[in-house]
Homo-oligomer: A and B are copies of this chain.
Amino acid sequence: MSNSFGKFTTREGYQWTKEDDITAGLPSVSVVQPPSNLKPSTQVDLYDAAVIGAGYAGLTAARDLALAGQRVLLLEARDRIGGRTYSANIDGYPFELGGTWVHWYQPFVWRELSRYNLATELEISPCTNGTGLNKTIVRTEDGMVSLSHEEEFAKLESILTKFVDVDGQLGRAVVPFPHNQHFNADLVRRFDDMSLADRISELGDQLTPLDRAMLEVYLSALCGTGDLKDVSFFEVLRCWALAGYNCVDFLATSAAFKLARGQSHFARRFFDEAAATGRLDYKFSCPVSAVADHGDAVELTARDGSSFKARRLICTAPLNVLKDIQFSPALPPAKLEASERGHVNRAVKINAVARGTDLRSFSGLAHPVGGLNYVSGDGATPAGNTHLVGLGTGLRPKDDVDAVLATLRDLAADADVERLVFHDWNEDEFSKGAWAWLRPGMATEYLEALRERRGNVLFASGDWAAGWRGCIDGAIEEGGRVGKEVLDELRK
């Protein structure tokens, strides 16, 4: 049965081991087999809704519509579900190649975790009381500093608090309703026009050189950029507000709680529930190249020449690749411009397995930013080794694995690395970047335009969510929003 949680191999991602060197493709429950349930005999001439993309936005919209009785077609360019989020299931452990962490402050993902009985299956990534190297090492141009986790947190708290405290209320006065950016629009614009680098300059000598180094590494890892001039300060301030205006939860919402069985296990629940309705047709490895809205129907043309029609189309292509689909009529200018400018996140995330448990409670930071800047113990594998997560920019791990291994060993106390698992989102033609972080000014300039429909074509992506933008939660929010809009119309 195609809906069982079989573990197949996606052609995406890479693995390195000492024995096999680099190999392409990863075992993952995100792969649906067979890759299509379309049959010429039961071909639907006009779907109620077609959905481009089987990330969380597309999965949510497709599921909601299929559940509500609509005939839905889901076309996915990749050979798997999940978009910029999937797990490689290796030796009984889920390595997250993309989006990983969730929190109960994220309403849309939490509702789904609860609905699928997964809300009590959280694991905690950071470990600060392990044996072995239970500390944080910060390397800067001035040398190396070793901090206990308590010292690291106290420092981060003091630094981040200065960074966000633009109103003497840690951001509460400027962003009292973090899901509503129309509130305090003038202030929003002012802070959206500022970059992270601008804000750091503003703080001047309120930060020591070490403070500044840690802040830059932290922000670089959060936003996936080696140049902090490229990210809007408002976007980080808003994220801080969403997390409750405090450092503990800011860190907790960004990288603390992950799913014990992995994101792909979760994403399968959406897909399988939709498929079980019998009203979902789907085709993987089927990139859509053109979309034409003829007024009475939308026609989709895939790269392989196949074409489909639907009364409504939901396009969930990420911001950075939206421009690559040929729309007729053309995308509205603001949408196209936003896609051409694109979001800045070029993060490289490296999963590594290090022998033994010494590094479970270890974190390493390196300044200046650019390259691999952050590594941290993330979990323990069933074989008793440590799962490390590394974050950086400017790396091309598949082309230069030795450099990555060397930096990793440097950063992580000569870790004896026996496996790497990674996906290069920047080279990936269907994402051209990682989770979204908008450039200065983009939120005020483009968000409304990005959410707008055009005729029978609707656009949904976590990249322009109102709440947890760039997160799994935002993708589910957007899929739900647009799914509801389409459903209300189709019902009439």
Contact = CB atoms under 8 A, between A and B. Distances in A.
A276 B491 contact: yes
A356 to B, nearest CB: 27
B104 A178 contact: yes
Contacts of A330: none
A470 B467 CA distance: 26
Contact of A480 (B108, B115, B172): B115
Contacts of A394: none
A162 interface: no
A466 B111 CA distance: 12
Contacts of A477: 114
Contact of A114 (B67, B106, B108, B119): B108
Given A182-B120, A244-B249, A480-B115, A104 B107 contact: yes
Given A182-B120, A244-B246, A467 B104 contact: yes
Given A68-B68, A69-B69, A244-B246, A180 B111 contact: no
A199 interface: no
Interface in A117-175: 119-120, 122, 172
A467 B120 CA distance: 11
A155 to B, nearest CB: 18
A179 B257 CA distance: 13
A119 B179 contact: yes
A115 B484 contact: yes
Nearest to A108: B111
A481 interface: yes
A177 interface: yes
A200 B280 CA distance: 57
A110 interface: yes
A246 B108 CA distance: 23
A453 to B, nearest CB: 14
Given A106-B107, A111-B480, A244-B246, A466 B119 contact: yes
A183 B477 CA distance: 28
Contacts of A122: 177, 180
A277 B248 CA distance: 45
A116 to B, nearest CB: 8
Interface in A448-492: 466-467, 477, 480-481, 484, 491
Contacts of A244: 105, 244, 246, 249
A173 to B, nearest CB: 12
A107 B111 contact: yes
A104 to B, nearest CB: 6
Contacts of A491: 276-277
Contact of A67 (B68, B105, B177, B467): B68
Contact of A481 (B104, B106, B115, B177): B115
A104 B385 CA distance: 39
A464 to B, nearest CB: 14
Interface string A88-108: 000000000000000011111
Interface in A170-221: 172, 177-180, 182-183
A119 B108 CA distance: 13
Tell which of A183, A244, A480 has the most Cβ of chain B within 10 Å. Answer: A244
Nearest to A243: B244
A111 to B, nearest CB: 5
Contacts of A484: 115
Nearest to A176: B124
Interface in A368-427: none
A305 to B, nearest CB: 35
A80 to B, nearest CB: 24
| A-B pairs, 9 with minimum CB distance | A107-B107, A107-B110, A244-B244, A111-B111, A120-B180, A67-B68, A107-B111, A69-B69, A115-B484
28 contacts: A67-B68, A68-B69, A69-B69, A104-B105, A104-B107, A104-B467, A106-B107, A107-B107, A107-B108, A107-B110, A108-B111, A108-B114, A111-B111, A114-B466, A114-B477, A115-B480, A115-B481, A119-B180, A119-B466, A120-B180, A120-B182, A120-B183, A122-B177, A122-B180, A172-B248, A244-B244, A245-B248, A277-B491
Given A105-B105, A114-B467, A114-B480, 9 more contacts: A68-B69, A104-B107, A104-B178, A107-B114, A108-B114, A111-B111, A120-B179, A122-B180, A244-B244
